[in-house]
A and B are shown apart, each in its own frame.
Chain A
Amino acid sequence: MDVPAVIDEVYRTESRRVLATLIRLLGDFDRAEEALHDAFSAAIEQWPRDGVPASPRAWLVSTGRFRAIDALRRRARFDASLAALATALEGQTAAPVEWIGEETLEDDRLRLVFTCCHPALQPDAQVALTLREVCGLTTEEIARAFLTAPRTVAQRIVRAKAKIRDARIPYQVPDRRELPERLDAVLRVVYLVFNEGYSASSGASLTRHDLSGEAIRLGRLLLELLPEPEVAGLLALMLLQESRRAARSADGEVVLLAAQDRTLWDRGLIAEGVRLVERALGAGPPGPYAVQAAIAAVHAEASEAERTDWAQIVGLYDVLLRADASPVVELNRAAAVAMRDGPAAGLALMDAILARGDLHDYQFAHSARADCCRRLGLVDEARAAYTRALELARQEPERRFLERRLRELEM
């Protein structure tokens, strides 16, 4: 591999970890981002000449830190208070192994997660900030995940950073007393990150494996830190969904759950997921993640699609609606009813949900409705609904899938 390719790879795999540590060392998000940028600029300049350092991560952290202190010194000519800050930052003379060791770096990522998900920040800003800072998504990608304008997301991030700085939100993992209360926001964010990786909101590739991997890794770390049922539930849900990855597409085309080759499902992930579901369900009233994981486990345990226990799935959706009602959950329940009681029953429920207008611009509401119409032989209605879904679809494989369905209607 040539050096520029190595730098690209290091950026992809290490930049967020380096950033998390730089925020701790420099005490400021914007200063840390500038330092990260400077460190990579230095790498582009020096690595082709001097060779790639043995530990690129350690090199980037120390280079970023020294560049940031240098920059403060230069600016101190105009603002004397920065000189004191530079000296204070330089005074942290802990041995490099302490601030860039593997364990400390993991702690830094967790610190970053809890800071980004601090309840003093607006809920929308928590998610946006985590996706931006922890996962390195662009503002545009976050905007698509949120179905909102990039400008709005950018504003949320700027305001959140300003509040972290001005109200002095600390860069730390909350202590045990505060932890349960702080966890809900973190779990919500982790799951959104997973979904961004599991079905990337746009582009030619159906999945973005690194993001799902990040979310699962964060989930494992959280479970270690706080063995709460809902953490186990979320991790189980992610593992069970991840287990189907290889079967979800063939030659770049979408393969629906019913048509997937179940021998491609990752049995190791399923076994781990099912164990975690049992653990999450065995501890009092289940939370929304544990119930969703239970639904995924029912699918995972069916040896073929025809053997799926749809009655149990509908029952679990009823439990989920009580724990966490939303139009999307209602839609999924309607799709399960269409399997248990037939497409006419499902279609009636979907039409009622769509009539309320909540899911008017939700691609999967229209494709699920189209599927019921197709099964009922309502060709014109199915065509109109697939066409609407196609208008809303942003991913190329999703678009090709819908186009294929449309062609099949004409046969």
Chain B
Amino acid sequence: MRYLCLIYDEEKKLGAMSKGESDAFMGEYFAFTEDIKKSGHYVGGNALQPVGTATSVRVRGGKMSTTDGPFAETKEQLGGYYLIEAKDLNDALQVAAKIPSAKLGTVEVRPIQEFN
């Protein structure tokens, strides 16, 4: 079964990291990605640009409206994701717990809806 691991980080906290800390954090991410490729969990994943680059679109009554910013203003922002293949939720949670941001922010694990 596939699960999407949505990674929420506090951009402010990440921005306040020194170059050394930031490099080490990225290094953890590279190592983690390698690990889950080896274990067969990895399906895909990407980091997102900061939330300041977000634009939200709605269509109401056939009319499109575009607003600056993310869907919801929160303390932690969606910063990236992994799409993984896991045996079950416990397996997915074990993988999610190893995402480096789990130590700083929150990782939300959502099963993928499969349409036949």
Contacts and interface: CB of A to CB of B under 8 A. Distances in A.
A348 interface: no
Contacts of A174: 90
Nearest to B88: A170
B1 interface: yes
A178 B1 CA distance: 21
A1 interface: no
Contacts of B26: none
B89 A170 contact: yes
A168 B112 CA distance: 11
B116 A168 contact: no
Contacts of A44: none
A89 B116 CA distance: 20
A178 B97 CA distance: 12
B23 to A, nearest CB: 30
Interface string B60-97: 00000000000000000000000000011111010000
Contacts of B91: 170
A120 B116 contact: no
Main secondary structure of the interface of B (DSSP, over half): mixed
Main secondary structure of the interface of A (DSSP, over half): loop
Contacts of B111: 166-168
A169 B89 CA distance: 5
B89 A178 contact: no
Nearest to A79: B116
A300 B111 CA distance: 51
A166 B78 CA distance: 23
Residue from B88, B90, B91, B93 whose CB has the most chain A CB atoms within 10 Å: B90
Residue from A81, A167, A178 whose CB has the most chain B CB atoms within 10 Å: A167
A178 B90 contact: yes
Contacts of A178: 90
Nearest to B116: A81
Contacts of A166: 111
B114 to A, nearest CB: 10
Interface in A151-174: 166-170, 172, 174
Interface string A165-187: 01111101010001000000000
Contacts of B93: 120
Contacts of B87: 170
A166 to B, nearest CB: 6
A172 B1 CA distance: 17
Contacts of A168: 1, 88-89, 111
Interface in A119-134: 120
B90 A167 contact: no
Contacts of B116: 81
Contacts of A170: 87-91
Nearest to B3: A167
Contacts of B1: 168
Contacts of B88: 168-170
Contacts of A120: 89, 93
A81 B114 CA distance: 14
Contacts of B90: 169-170, 172, 174, 178
Contacts of B89: 118, 120, 167-170
Interface string A68-101: 0000000000000100000000000000000000
A350 to B, nearest CB: 41
B71 to A, nearest CB: 22
Nearest to B113: A166
A101 to B, nearest CB: 25
17 contacts: A81-B116, A118-B89, A120-B89, A120-B93, A166-B111, A168-B1, A168-B88, A168-B89, A168-B111, A169-B89, A169-B90, A170-B87, A170-B88, A170-B89, A170-B90, A172-B90, A178-B90
Given A169-B88, A172-B90, A174-B90, 15 more contacts: A81-B116, A118-B89, A120-B89, A166-B111, A167-B111, A168-B1, A168-B88, A168-B89, A168-B111, A169-B90, A170-B87, A170-B88, A170-B89, A170-B90, A178-B90
